[in-house]
Amino acid sequence: MTVFDYAPAPESRSVVDIRASYGLFINGEFTGGHGEPFKTINPADEGVLAEVACADESDVDRAVRAARAAYDKVWGPMPGAERAKYLYRIARIVQERSRELAVLESIDNGKPIRESRDVDVPLVAAWFFYYAGWADKLRHAGLGPAPKPVGVAGQVIPWNFPLLMLAWKIAPALACGNTVVLKPAETTPLTALLFADICRQAELPPGVVNIVTGAGETGAALVSHPGVDKVAFTGSTDVGRQIARTLAGTRKKLTLELGGKAANIVYQDAALDQAVEGIVNGIFFNQGHVCCAGSRLLVQESVAEEVLERLKARMATLRVGDPLDKNTDIGAINSAAQLARIRELTDAGQAEGAERWSPPCELPSQGFWFAPTLFTGVAQSHRIAREEIFGPVLSVLTFRTPEEAVTKANNTPYGLSAGIWTEKGSQILWTAQRLRAGVVWANTFNKFDPASPFGGYKESGFGREGGRHGLEAYLNA
Amino acid sequence: MPDRLSVRKTYKLYIGGAFPRSESGRSYPVTDSKGRFLANASHASRKDARDAVVAARKAFPGWSGRTAYNRAQILYRIAEMLEGRRDQFIDELRQAGASKGAAGTEVDAAVDRWVWYAGWADKLAAVTGAANPVSGPFFNFSTPEPTGVVAVVAPDSPLLGLVSVLAPVIVSGNTTVVIASEPAPLPSITLAEVLATSDLPGGVVNLLTGHRTEIAPWLAAHMDVNALDLAGALPEHVRELEDKAAGNLKRVLRPTGDDWAGEPGTARMTAFLETKTVWHPVGV
């Protein structure tokens, strides 16, 4: 160890009690499933964490019936002010149990504790706190004088932000008077099941929140269940398309938060050190497992060399390793399948002629790891510039004029997010107006807040989550 | 025996600001409510639909880039031009089966609807946008933007129904390809003549006549169409059209069973808006 190395600073796991096996959470009770149970593993060391029940069609049916009964008898008729208090309770318990939630999230997902502790869990509490306040003010939301809940919401969420996506889905749904059946991702079910315990501590009426674990088949059974009135999905564009097809011709409401291939535009007058920080945060936050990640860097040609030099120097300081170490910047890739997908696409990048670079970094021998990676000499036609990689991989392209930057940024079927770096306010507004993307971060990146709508244009899906706009998905106005 | 033979009108398509016949050379006879021949309407083809999408896409940057005030002026101008042709529309609606009184009421309502929507152009952002009080030193605001190219299957109310689906799509800056009512297309093409003389840029509205079951699937599956309004789709075709629309995740407005004479509300406008949220740090 040299004098400047960091000593290990691991967060204690003792705050979390992981059970050997978990059931489904239906009608306020943990119950077995009729599917084949599956194991969830720690992506940092491939160790088995727990066995989890799998819901088949009959289990999904039980959950939907429980949600329907709770909607008809308890949650739907309840005054908004009372619903609000339950949501406030949940927000408070999340805050009280935040360390436990953060540690469990990092263990099950592989994300650094620094992020689960400082970003995910605080935002989860904020989301419940924010939507709690809407529950008794829905008539003032500008969505009509007498907005009504939709009924039973079927919600399917991804593995990249397991608890945060749960909060994005459940908080507005409950605030609006709906009940929910939520399916977490099969690789990251544990914090959702811990959330079930939080619902019990809050004494949320049985059936208001139901959690069915399983893989794609469980999700398909949920979205196609005739007792579901509204489907909300966050995940890949391909699965989103399938869900849209499944719902064709039905009366179910649908919102989709899908993939992205965000352009992060750096103009020559940008504050370059801040821009480099923003680029790093844009693509290496959460191992790049972020639908709105700034995965296409567009640098103005005149500063490209300098930006790349500073970016490489900054990347060399990123610490990859134990997610529970408080100094870790980049944790584990969530699964073997995702690691294989990242490898396939980066190999394609090399094969198509882009130049690959990673800082020297030693990866652990156990678990799923991928070094932060940079591609230069990228053409718009390359797969690494077109397809979502969902990993710590940045493709660098250049431009000469603002018009060219906007044209290249918009040259994608996606339209979720974008970044702009310049010191010139009029240039920010000019660029932001022309970008076909739902979230534009100017001189910052990857910021989230429950008061702020989030969602995409084009094939990044439809509907918005967050803010007043996020209520629309869960109300019939 | 009249001492003068009337000059009949040839009804054509409206694409990119021009009035072409169908490239397929096809037409179909349109009859009045008693089965009497009125005119041959163009029978649009898949190629016509694709040309219309190209025209709509080309017109989108210009139309969406105009100021809301300017779009309001143009929508109000449409009302003016429609009012000026009031008698002609009454005649055409009567040919389609309406009584004289009902036809007059419908034309007046159509004029008033353009006026109503004209007033929305520069208010939508204030009503549907937001300054978001996020927890941190950021200025964060959300503004509505048009979704893009919207394909519309118009309902069989040939003037008021058409205006009621068309105006909310274009007021926010979307451009559109509309399949007119199949049994009663004639007032729709006459409306296109109003649009063509109302300062509305060519390509903002493109109007096809023909068989909706033939054309609508091409538009629903078209990868450069962003949204689909199924107002006039036949119930048995909704599933197929929604299925095709999933290909590029089009926004779909399902048939809503609107009463076109009623108060429109904002839902038809907000169905074709995207919300863009912009963040910027606050600091010195």
Whether the CB of A428 is below 8 Å from some CB of chain B: the reply is yes
Whether the CB of A424 is below 8 Å from some CB of chain B: the reply is no
Q: For B11-28+38-281, give the CATH class.
A: alpha beta
- pLDDT value for A57: 98
Q: Of residues A115, A257, A388, A459, which has the active-site annotation?
A: A257
Q: Mind listing the pLDDT tens digit for each residue in A248-302?
A: 999 999 999 999 999 999 999 999 999 999 999 999 999 999 999 999 999 999 9
CB-CB under 8 Å, B226 with A452: no
B-chain residues within 8 Å CB-CB of A443? 280-281
Amino acid residing at A115: E
| Dist. CA B220–CA B151, nearest whole Å | 8
% of chain A surpassing 70 pLDDT: 99
Average pLDDT over residues B176-189: 96
| Dist. CA A352–CA A383, nearest whole Å | 8
Where residue A2 falls among pLDDT bands split at 50, 70, 90?
Answer: low
- Examine the predicted complex and report whether its ipTM is higher than 0.90: yes
Where residue A437 falls among pLDDT bands split at 50, 70, 90?
Answer: very high
For residue A431, what is the nearest residue in chain B, using CA coordinates?
Answer: B278
B269: tokens are 């406008």
Where residue A477 falls among pLDDT bands split at 50, 70, 90?
Answer: confident
Where residue B253 falls among pLDDT bands split at 50, 70, 90?
Answer: very high
Token pair 């995740």 is at which residue?
B249
A462: tokens are 């439809």
For residue A441, what is the nearest residue in chain B, using CA coordinates?
Answer: B279
Domain locations in chain B? 11-28+38-281
Which residues have CB under 8 Å from A336's CB, separation 6+?
A: A368
3-state secondary structure of B146: strand
User: What is the edge-to-edge ordering of all strands in the sheet holding A21-22?
Assistant: A21-22, A48-52, A38-41
A-chain residues within 8 Å CB-CB of B246? 241-242, 244-245, 248
Q: Distance of alpha carbon A366 from its chain centroid, rounded?
A: 25
- pLDDT value for B257: 85
Amino acid residing at A145: P
Q: How far is B2 from chain A (nearest CA, A)?
A: 53
- Residue B236 gets which letter from DSSP? G
Evaluate if residue A1 carries a pLDDT over 60: no
For residue A145, what is the nearest residue in chain B, using CA coordinates?
Answer: B265
CA distances from B250 to A261, A433, B177 (A): 18, 22, 14
% of chain A surpassing 90 pLDDT: 98
Mean pLDDT of chain A: 97
Where residue A3 falls among pLDDT bands split at 50, 70, 90?
Answer: low
| Dist. CA A92–CA B62, nearest whole Å | 50
B55: tokens are 């025209």
- Sign, Cα dihedral of B9, B10, B13, B15: negative
Evaluate if residue B6 carries a pLDDT over 90: no
Q: How far is A288 from chain B (nearest CA, A)?
A: 20
Q: Mind listing the pLDDT tens digit for each residue in A240-257?
A: 999 999 999 999 999 999
Where residue B80 falls among pLDDT bands split at 50, 70, 90?
Answer: very high
Which stretches within A19-73 are classed as H helix?
Answer: 57-70
Could you list the beta-strand ranges (E) of A87-208.
Answer: 148-149, 152-156, 179-183
- β pairing state of B138-146 and B130-131: antiparallel
% of chain B surpassing 70 pLDDT: 99
Average pLDDT over residues B164-190: 97
Which residues have CB under 8 Å from A351's CB, separation 6+?
A: none
Q: Mind listing the pLDDT tens digit for each residue in B206-249?
A: 999 999 999 999 999 999 999 999 999 999 999 999 999 999 99
Q: What is the DSSP string of A247-307?
A: TTTS--EEEEE-----EEEE-TTS-HHHHHHHHHHHHHGGGG--TT---EEEEEHHHHHHH
From B132, B249, B279, residue closest to A256, measured CB to CB: B249
Taking alpha carbons only, the member of B147, B229, B248 closest to residue A240 is B248
Q: Which positions in chain B have a beta carbon within 8 angstroms of at least one beta carbon in chain A?
A: 127-128, 130, 132-136, 138, 140, 142, 147-148, 226, 238-243, 245-249, 251, 254, 267, 274-281
- pLDDT value for A5: 80
Q: Is A361 a catalytic residue?
A: no
With beta carbons less than 8 A apart as the criterion, state whether A110 and A191 touch. Answer: no
- pLDDT value for B1: 63
Q: Mind listing the pLDDT tens digit for each residue in A10-65?
A: 999 999 999 999 999 999 999 999 999 999 999 999 999 999 999 999 999 999 99
Where residue A71 falls among pLDDT bands split at 50, 70, 90?
Answer: very high
Q: Of residues A199, A291, A292, A388, which has the active-site annotation?
A: A291
- Residue A133 gets which letter from DSSP? T
3-state secondary structure of A158: coil
A317: tokens are 């300081």
For residue A122, what is the nearest residue in chain B, using CA coordinates?
Answer: B135
| Dist. CA B174–CA B272, nearest whole Å | 8
Q: Is A29 a catalytic residue?
A: no
Q: Mind listing the pLDDT tens digit for each residue in A325-378?
A: 999 999 999 999 999 999 999 999 999 999 999 999 899 999 999 999 999 999
Q: Mind listing the pLDDT tens digit for each residue in B29-63?
A: 999 888 999 999 999 999 999 999 999 999 999 99
Average pLDDT over residues A58-78: 98
Q: Mind listing the pLDDT tens digit for each residue in A147-166?
A: 999 999 999 999 999 999 99
* CA-based end-to-end distance of chain A: 63
Mean pLDDT of chain B: 96
Where residue A413 falls among pLDDT bands split at 50, 70, 90?
Answer: very high
CB-CB under 8 Å, B280 with A442: yes
Residues A135, A141, A143, A149, Cα dihedral to 10°: 0
Taking alpha carbons only, the member of B225, B176, B272 closest to residue A462 is B272
Rg, chain A, Cα only: 22
